[in-house]
Structure 1
Amino acid sequence: MTTIANDYVSTLASSTSTTNAKGSNVMDQSSFLTLMTAQLKMQDPFSPMDNTQMVAQMAQFSQVAGISEMNASLSNISNSIGSLSSSLSGSRISDAANWIGMSMLVNSDIATPDRYGVYGGEVTLAQDTDALSIDLTDANGNIVKSFDIGAKSKGDTVPFYWDGKDANGNTIDSQALQVVVNGGTTSSMSTWAAIAGVQSPADASSAKLITAIGQFSPSDAKRLS
């Protein structure tokens, strides 16, 4: 049977090669079953084909076909995700344009007046402290405003606000100020920044929000106000 089958396979391969010059080079499940049927028809009756081998060949081909179909499905999913990502990117740019005039809380140690003219932010403590204080200092290191907070526990988030005015209600500062934490260790520090505009890159990537302390991506905003 083996000799007859091998002769047939060689003939079929030669015929397939000639046909493939005009058509497809892919051997699909139909082609495999045609070849399997030919082997069964031409098998030696005194040495029949091993059923175990036949089943194993069919299982192996089905597995390969399944992997091929799975790869095609994954490719389609990848393309869908890419389209969704582009859609979300465009939506994010549109949403960011609506943020102009608002304030955003971002990771920063520089404070500037927000949309209301207020210096504000928050710090999260990495350990317990008995005497926490926060200073706002100018470019020369002078303390413009100090907050005496006192005892706080690890993990506490401590907010701070200042309207930039003295006790008489007179504005004494509107420049960018450095946030300095004393008497404690922080795990994060954030400040509020007014959003003055949106920059949309030419490569259609995510928009950048323009503030007095720099440019940020929409995803950088912890909160909006």
Structure 2
Amino acid sequence: MTSGISSLTSAAASSAAGKTADSATLASNFTQFLTLLTTQLKNQNPLDPMDTNQFTQQLVQFAQVEQQLKGNDRLDSILANSKAASSASATSYIGKNVTTDGTTADLKDGSATWNLTPARDATKAVVTISDSKGNVVGTQTTSLAAGSQTFSWNGKNSSGLAAPEGTYTIKVSASDATGATVQVATAMSGSVDKVDLSGASPVLIIGTSRVPLSRVTGIGLSTTSS
């Protein structure tokens, strides 16, 4: 009888570890366990009674599995609520102009915009724009003041022709008045067209770019007129 009870306990524990949806099965097994335990206590040999430590340990094992199942259910509920809240928050970004970390931006309606943040004043900054294949389509030499600022490209290539819409990459090589290199942090900005909620976390769609919500560093009103 004791070995049968032990087997039943192990089976329930194994099932609970595999699937959190087995709570109904666990309850049924627990009822069977109590029935078997009660029957064993009624019919045990008075000269060789059941070890109380043994069935107490089995009760504890069932209780632990039951607590784990309930804990998993609560965690699933918390995660579901958190995802729902995150999704609701992400949809509020649609139509807004956001700034995110990165060197790529989409050329759309004859304009691509980045945010540049030099560590200090740069008297000379060579800005290079490349297409998705790595081909350089335009360069511009300018000066940059320290701090965050917007850099817009009009979509014209080196020949003055309009480049096709798509994703472009910016690279900035800057130096100060002494010729020392100035580090320039780059970021991308654009209007959020839609939000992809199919994954574990929301992804903002800006043109053809996919930006995880966690990469957003700034948000503002869209500059596109309706």
Amino acid at match of 1:82: D
Counterpart of 2:151?
A: 162
Counterpart of 2:191?
A: 194
Amino acid at match of 1:143: T
CA distance 1:145–1:194, change in 2 (3 Å): farther
- Per-residue CA deviations over 1:92-124 (Å, capped at 9, x if unaligned) read 33322221121223232114589xx88333569
How far residue 189 of structure 1 moved from its aligned partner, in angstroms, is 4.7
Whether 1:26 aligns to 2:32 is: yes
* Stretch of structure 1 that moved more, 134-143 or 94-103: 134-143
Q: 1:221 aligns with which of 207, 216, 219?
A: 216
- Per-residue CA deviations over 1:23-59 (Å, capped at 9, x if unaligned) read 978333x7546635654x6318xxxx7xxxx7xx323
SS at the partner of 2:170?
Answer: strand
Mapping of 1:1-225 within 5 angstroms?
26-28=32-34, 31-32=36-37, 35-36=40-41, 38-39=43-44, 42-43=46-47, 57-112=51-106, 119-122=113-116, 133=125, 135-137=127-129, 139=131, 140-144=136-140, 146-148=142-144, 159-162=148-151, 177-182=168-173, 183=181, 189-201=186-198, 206-225=201-220
- Consecutive unaligned residues of structure 2, counting only runs of 5 or more, are 6-27, 155-161, 174-180, 221-226
Distance in 2, Cα, partners of 1:102 & 1:113: 17
Amino acid at match of 1:27: F
Distance in 1, Cα, partners of 2:141 & 2:192: 24
CA distance 1:94–1:66, change in 2 (3 Å): same
Q: Which runs of 4+ in 1 moved over 6 A?
A: none
CA distance 1:184–1:65, change in 2 (3 Å): farther
SS at the partner of 1:27?
Answer: helix
Distance in 1, Cα, partners of 2:95 & 2:74: 35
How far residue 216 of structure 1 moved from its aligned partner, in angstroms, is 2.5
- Consecutive unaligned residues of structure 1, counting only runs of 5 or more, are 1-8, 14-22, 151-157, 166-172
Distance in 2, Cα, partners of 1:178 & 1:62: 67
Amino acid at match of 2:46: M
SS at the partner of 1:99?
Answer: coil
Contact 1:113 1:194 in 2 (8 A): no
Distance in 1, Cα, partners of 2:90 & 2:141: 32
TM-score, normalised with respect to structure 2:
0.53
Contact 1:147 1:160 in 2 (8 A): no
CA distance 1:136–1:33, change in 2 (3 Å): same
CA distance 1:62–1:211, change in 2 (3 Å): same
TM-score, normalised with respect to structure 1:
0.53
Distance in 2, Cα, partners of 1:212 & 1:68: 54
> How many pairs align?
173
Distance in 2, Cα, partners of 1:131 & 1:69: 71
SS at the partner of 1:42?
Answer: coil
Q: CA RMSD in A?
A: 4.6
SS at the partner of 1:222?
Answer: strand
How far residue 224 of structure 1 moved from its aligned partner, in angstroms, is 2.5
